[in-house]
Amino acid sequence: MREQTHTAIPLRPIAIGLLPLTALLSGCDRAVLHPAGDVALQQRDIIYFSTALMLLIIVPVIALIITFAWRYRKGNGATYDPNFDHSTALELVIWSAPLLIIICLGALTWWSTHLLDPFRPLNRVSATRAIDPKVKPLVVQVVSLDWKWLFIYPEQGVATVNELVLPADRPVRFDMTSTNMMNTFYAPTLAGMIYTMPGMRSTLHAVLNRPGTFDGLSANYSGAGFSKMHFVLYGVNDRGFESWVARVKASGLTLDTNRYLALEKPSEGVKAMYFSSADPTLFDRIFRRCVHPGTPCMSGMHGGSHEMPKPEGAIFKGAAEKTGESQTPPPGRQPSPAPNSHQER
């Protein structure tokens, strides 16, 4: 009889290899699974509920795989029926359970898509507090540049780069656009990811429920400096927000057209910058792509409220707009290619 040998698997390299994964999961747990904003909290609950629904299928399937492998293993004496080909009860279980899960996930997706639509104003500050109709949402204009974030507070008349400060428990409306490249505004503890695109204006309604210091980033690759395109999100109380605005107003820098054009140039790893005043028309001119002197403003799109310029191609024109005869002969009447039009190389 030949002696069998077993090779022990070293556990230390495996444990070391799992350390980066553990670090990543800890970061996810801190930002996504323990959010500081009500919108992000609702999104987290959807993740939990969706995962639980899917586990209703995954766990029984894994259990059945183990059970069948053990029960019908060789030498166990299980009954073998080669003529078995159908069981109505088994078919009902196999198909009805996944179908019910899919219906539940579809209903959850439809409900959450409408409830958490970023363009939809908030109807609550938290799970226990409704929106006070007397409280006006704070407006923050967000511009993604290469490779930094510009935040303009039109009501306060100030602007910052790579630093976003929000008062806790006050609804916020973000108006977002981009200068050159498509980016994604993402503050995991606040709300979901929203794209920023040149010539378009996106909207996000959110609220921060507790003070703290949080991370924000661009989640869409946009070039060489993308990896350093981060910003810091500070949650403060109302008094802290007023103090911060006063400190920014004392910075002395003005965000006018010339300074913006200098800021627009690509740069990486930019530290926080503060502007005591900002041109009130700047965001709209960035959105309409006419910041440079002499550049005509283009039409933009904001949830359908602005008309985009109509394409000139005939495929986009109505029947009344199509005039003249077609320049393309009908099928079967196209001229044959010239004999020497294709040469062998």
| pLDDT tens-place string over residues 247-281 | 999 988 999 999 999 999 999 889 999 999 999 99
Side chain identity at residue 299, one-letter code:
S
| Amino acid residing at 333 | R
pLDDT of 183-227, one tens digit each?
999 999 999 899 999 999 999 999 999 999 999 999 888 888 888
Between the CA of residue 189 and those of 75, 109, 168, 230, 290, what are the distances in Å?
A: 56, 21, 13, 14, 34
- Helices then strands, counting H and E runs in the chain, come out as 6, 15
The residue with greater pLDDT, 141 or 12, is 141
The band of 332, judged by pLDDT with boundaries at 50, 70 and 90, is: low
Residue 65 has pLDDT above 60, yes or no: yes
pLDDT of 16: 53
* Torsion angles phi and psi, residue 63, rounded to 5: -65, -40
Residues in the chain: 345
Domains and CATH numbers, the chain: 20-73+90-115 (1.10.287), 129-287 (2.60.40.420)
CA 190 to CA 209: how far, in whole Å?
9
Q: What percent of the chain clears pLDDT 70, i.e. is strictly above it?
A: 78
Mean pLDDT in residue range 146-165: 95
Rounded CA-CA distance 122/126 in Å is 10
Pinpoint the alpha helices (H) of 184-290: 238-249, 257-264, 282-287
How confident is the model at residue 32, as a pLDDT?
83
Residues 173 and 203 sit within 8 Å (Cβ to Cβ): yes
* Digit-coded pLDDT (tens) for 88-130: 888 888 888 889 999 999 999 899 888 889 999 998 998 888 9
Give the 3-state secondary structure of residue 22: helix
Helix or strand (DSSP H, E) at 233: strand 230-236
Cβ–Cβ under 8 Å, residues 260 and 291? yes
Q: Two tokens at 176?
A: 């977002």
